[in-house]
Structure 1
Amino acid sequence: MAQIKVEKAKIDQKQTSLLIIGVFENEQNFSQSKELDPSVLTYIKETLDDKDFRGNFGSSMIVYTLGKGPMKKILLLGLGKRKQFTDEMARIAAGKAVLRAKELGTKEFSILQFSNLDEGLVEAMTEGIALALYSFDKYKAPDPESVKVEEVTILINSDSPRFQMIAEKAGHVAEAVNFARDLGNLPPNDCPPAHLASVALSLASEYGMKARVVERYEMETMGLGGIVAVGKGSNNPPKLIILEYNGAGDAKPYLLVGKAVTFDTGGISLKPGDKMDEMKFDKCGGCNVLALLRAVASMKLAVNVVGIVPSVENMPSSTAYRPGDIVKMYNGKTVEVLNTDAEGRMILADALAYGIATYSPKAVIDMATLTGAAIIALGANVAALVGNNKQLTDRVRRMAEKTGERMWDLPLYDEFHEQIKSTHADIKNIGGRPGGAITAAAFLSNFVGSAPWVHMDIAGTAWTQDGTYERSYNPKGATGFGIRTLVKQLSEEEKPPA
């Protein structure tokens, strides 16, 4: 990852190959403009007067300084209308700055603070820069002509130590997001459940956490029937991965549970072949949970967090579970399987029930690429939230508003529970097409009891797909959606009440 620094410096003193200056739409003035060489400033103002560059959001224009100043080039970057400018727009604009810098082949550049300085702005700019720099090129031959950005300096007009700390925290979070992207983008032949288990053990060793990997036959003994049933169709055995971070003594932990189906064929209820390759992303919820524990540990947050990742490969075979099977789950409830492609809720249910019974958490949040119905309801840019605790759900959504990771809560009315009642078992694993995202959550609610719980369906947002809104900081592939929101929530949790 490139080094991102925050400095208090006058732009006429900062040696840089490229200076990026954000300009609001139809405005001539910008911070520290008087520090530019008069001839350069005059040229910029004439450009703005002539409307050659209007400052429309995302637009850009190169100004060559011809040696008049310590910077070789200036990039004017449009920020749109000042009144409409938000931290999310700052995040996107910073990402656009990175992409333009890469196009120009620069290894280093400086970027002027976009608007009035505060923590949110520096955090957003840092995240936009770090996330836009990401690329997944593990399987590509090296390009000898490519130039990687190695250093970025955010120039501010205030004391830098405080804001450097903000940037460093944001950098830890961005590193975790990119870590999750790396895992999510791995092809299924290189990422069976055993690989995720190995990653978890490495994280525990590196960051001083406690890790445990429960194997299939131990799961059978423990009664984790849902995970065993889904995983038994594959030659790659299922794993239950547990990571524990202790940063707050004996305090009750947050429990984070993430679905990690390393590849989902649908099992006996086989999916259509079109876009089945995207089912490598069905592990993104679990990848995100591993990344969240990495972020929390690297930031040394004063909270306790337990991450549980049930990981399976859902394959059709002579040993696969079948439509019509009745499976006994960890908490004793029986499930009639009507569709083997509704496997995520089966493994999540066991992991939730086990985690709550074992750790008595203060709150539970699960992340899963669970239903296509969530995409039909909210599109590919908004995650669905369903829970049993309004305070917790509202808190997650408020944090999401700060991070630009859009989420919306759906109601869990009694009628949805009726849809998953089974004739031959306690419940069935699908409730029909109506309200499919909610009936999936209704299924999960049978395994959380009274614990405060919110379910995050990230089926539309976990990777870039049809309908995904283009954001400069989200390259194609896994996005790491939800990590920044939950890290912010856990960071707020460690603060004492006002």
Structure 2
Amino acid sequence: MSRFLFALAMFLGMVSAWPSVALAQRALAFEAHQVPENGSVAITVAEGLPTGGSFDIVDARTGGALRRAAEADGFRGKADSRLELRGFAGYERLLVLGLGDAGLQSARELEDVGGRVAQAFAKSRAARVDLVWDGAEAGAAAHLAFGAAIGQYRFDKYRSKSDEDAPAAAGQGTLAIRTREGAAAEAGYRAQWQPVAGAVAFARDLSTEPGNALWPEEFVDRVRAAARGLPLSIEVLDVPAMRALDMGGILAVGQGSVRPPRLLLVRYAGGAAGEPPLAFVGKGITFDSGGISIKPNTNMWQMKGDMTGAATVVSTVLALAGRQAPVNAVAVAALAENMPSGSASRPGDVVRTASGKTFEIMSTDAEGRMVLTDALWYVKRQDSPKLVIDVATLTGAVVTALGGDYAGLFSRDDALAAQLLAAGEASGEPLWRLPLRDDYGKRLESPIADLRNGGGSPGAGVGAYFIGEWVDRALPWAHLDIAGADWNDSADPTVPEGASGFGVRLLDRFVRDHHE
């Protein structure tokens, strides 16, 4: 069996297991470059409406009507602009996207074009939509398709509509990507980018699920289902196993909930035998009430997404396995529900972690760093990774500093930080490096334990410093604080409103560019 067919077979197994609503959306097809004469069609044009290309072809067919319509609408092809014509010259719907004054489009810009088209036709009942791309860039079709796949995502499994209100065929059917690569582009997309699109959808699904539908054990079950048929191994530590290892950090967070914590490890061995893996460690608080240090009610509902870090790292390794990346990798999900109860941890409690190091709880709402202590220690002991990247919706402080436009990057390793910054720009999931100073440790000094789990400012930097105390100084390590970036209040071309799945594209790009 060829590499492509093997990868496709594995991914189809993933698709059948992943219950993503994205699977009910438009299927992607790859066809020759040709401008259809009717139907629902999307084309692009550079600023100034130059002659040549699909715009000129349609204009010639209509005796100049397309240019006249553009002039009447004031459409000049500026970046991110669009001209939409319905019932025009035999077309059910003609969408013209402006590219601006640009030459060769980057992969990110191509993905945005695909996403814009998919979103524009998300409520259309058209059985088929044709996206025509005039450029000759190698790989353009795959990136257009990838953008369309992640751009058309939606989560509507809990909506109930009457038959007359529910457009069963809306946003479904086929989206044909028409480029000069033609049908030959399909193999590359299916093998290399469809697994990543599926992983992004899976991460978004997990992050969107409410707390009454997703808890630590359920998270594990869903990952098991998603991993079925892939070359992955799964290890799960339950409460007795964690107690035997003295994992006081994760146990302290989970002890207030009737739903017990879990430590989940997903391992992929696609690289050389014995090569140390890349370790991705994620915060997985399936609901964060704050515990005894309870949060205010305003926007507490968003704390169902406090497990996005875990969703991101697990989905990343699923994507690597799906596309047969030549690397070894392990994802670690530190899963707990942080609830107030008579058995919950208290501010002032002292917790001993599996490493032997202790901390004093200043706030039970600083729980993400607590669960990561034991996860970081365990992956170091079991897997001896070559580097560690942890991903967490850790602090509100990073949201204040960066909003949702960037995730915060903290690292003691300049080379690793530079690689992640570059991967962020290339993937469309940008990072902003923030300071990580040694004197932050003074702000975490405790009179009775090795350190405190919070206190002092800057909040995001102090939180990162705390996590870093459980990582050997010689080991390349980075902390990504994705609070804010994990949720979109308004849609972008490739990220609809809601859970963004932030980090899957970033980490996949990081692996592609620096470890393959």
TM-score by length of 2: 0.89
3-state SS of 2:251 partner: helix
**Aligned 1:469-480 pairs, distance under 5 A:** 470-480=491-501
Aligned to 2:407: 383
Aligned to 2:167: 145
3-state SS of 2:480 partner: strand
Contact 1:33/1:41, CA 8 A, preserved across alignment? no
Moved more, 2-11 or 218-227: 2-11
1:181-204: per-residue Cα shift (whole Å, max 9, x none)?
Answer: 111111101101110111232234
Aligned to 1:458: 482
CA distance in 2, matches of 1:29, 1:106: 29
Of residues 228, 237, 253 in structure 1, which corresponds to 2:260? 237
| Deviation for aligned residue 1:155 | 1.5
3-state SS of 1:259 partner: strand
Change (3 A) 1:431 1:116: farther
| Deviation for aligned residue 1:34 | 5.3
CA distance in 2, matches of 1:245, 1:356: 16
Counterpart check, 1:91 vs 2:88: no
CA distance in 2, matches of 1:494, 1:287: 22
1:96-119: per-residue Cα shift (whole Å, max 9, x none)?
Answer: 222222344223211122655243
Counterpart check, 1:296 vs 2:320: yes
CA distance in 2, matches of 1:197, 1:139: 21
Moved more, 345-354 or 55-64: 55-64
Change (3 A) 1:24 1:179: same
CA distance in 2, matches of 1:430, 1:295: 34
Equivalent pairs, count: 485
CA distance in 1, matches of 2:302, 2:333: 20
CA distance in 1, matches of 2:186, 2:95: 24
Letter aligned with residue 341 of structure 1: D
Of residues 336, 356, 361 in structure 1, which corresponds to 2:360? 336
3-state SS of 1:44 partner: helix
CA distance in 2, matches of 1:367, 1:429: 18
Of residues 436, 440, 445 in structure 1, which corresponds to 2:468? 445
Aligned to 2:451: 427
Letter aligned with residue 96 of structure 2: L
3-state SS of 1:188 partner: coil
Change (3 A) 1:53 1:185: same
Letter aligned with residue 144 of structure 2: M
TM-score by length of 1: 0.92
| Deviation for aligned residue 1:63 | 5.7
Moved more, 370-379 or 80-89: 80-89
Letter aligned with residue 424 of structure 1: I
CA distance in 2, matches of 1:164, 1:44: 35
Change (3 A) 1:457 1:84: farther
Aligned to 2:27: 3
Counterpart check, 1:491 vs 2:512: yes
Counterpart check, 1:228 vs 2:251: yes
Contact 1:10/1:35, CA 8 A, preserved across alignment? no
3-state SS of 1:102 partner: coil
Change (3 A) 1:18 1:309: same
- Of all paired residues, the percent bearing the same amino acid is 32
Contact 1:301/1:494, CA 8 A, preserved across alignment? no
| Deviation for aligned residue 1:376 | 1.1
Counterpart check, 1:25 vs 2:36: no
Moved more, 370-379 or 92-101: 92-101
Aligned to 1:176: 199
| Deviation for aligned residue 1:218 | 1.3
| Deviation for aligned residue 1:470 | 3.8
The unaligned stretches of length 5 or more in structure 1 are none
Aligned to 1:398: 422
Counterpart check, 1:77 vs 2:97: yes
CA distance in 2, matches of 1:72, 1:229: 60
The unaligned stretches of length 5 or more in structure 2 are 1-22
| Deviation for aligned residue 1:86 | 5.0
CA distance in 2, matches of 1:30, 1:195: 55
**Aligned 1:54-65 pairs, distance under 5 A:** 54-56=76-78, 57-62=80-85, 64-65=87-88
Contact 2:487/2:499, CA 8 A, preserved across alignment? yes
Aligned to 2:66: 44
